[in-house]
Amino acid sequence: MRNTYIYTETKKLIKKYGTRDPFEIMDQMNIVVGETSRYKTLKGYCFMSCKTIYVMISSFLSEEEKMIVAAHELGHIILHRSQLKMAPMQDDTLYNMTDNTEYQANLFAADLLIEDEDIEEMVQNEDLDYFGLCSSLNATPELMSFKLYSLTKRGQAYHMPMEIQSNFLAK
């Protein structure tokens, strides 16, 4: 996939459905979403049965994690729909960098949940470090890393207002 494809797909969804909320988007797409306590380590999965798409999310997750997993599963539905017909797409770990489909679903989730403009606005604040940026935007550091990678791949350069301190372990 080219550098802008995933970002373009998220922008189309946001425009079409008028929201960044993956649960609202899936509801409008008639995707059946449910929670399960059946698996302790499985965060979520999606599958297709009789032309209906289902997303199951672990009930053990926090609300923030459920939102990220929902966006990630929506990424699989949008980007990898043909694979849903073969077998359920299961996610026991998020932010997997070794599997291409997982990597793409993570980029999709980051682009869906975090607005470019919000980062641009926050980065202007020189007192804000990387973790402050994450906190201000209610994003996990891992999700923010995917978002910044997406921005970089689309030609934007960011100099994070974070100083490296060699004595950080001494504190």
pLDDT for the residue numbered 141? 86
Question: Which ranges of the chain have pLDDT less than 50?
Answer: 92-93, 95-96, 160-171
pTM of the model: 0.82
> For 5-114, which CATH class?
mainly alpha
pLDDT for the residue numbered 171? 38
Q: What is the 3-state secondary structure (H, E, C) of the chain?
A: CCCCHHHHHHHHHHHHHCCCCHHHHHHHCCCEEEEECCCCCCCEEEEEECCEEEEEEECCCCHHHHHHHHHHHHHHHHHCHHHHCCCCEEECCCCCCCCHHHHHHHHHHHHHHCCHHHHHHHHCCCCCCHHHHHHHCCCCHHHHHHHHHHHHHCCCCCCCCCCCCCCHHHC
Residues 16-45: tens digit of each pLDDT = 999 999 999 999 999 999 998 888 788 998
pLDDT for the residue numbered 165? 33
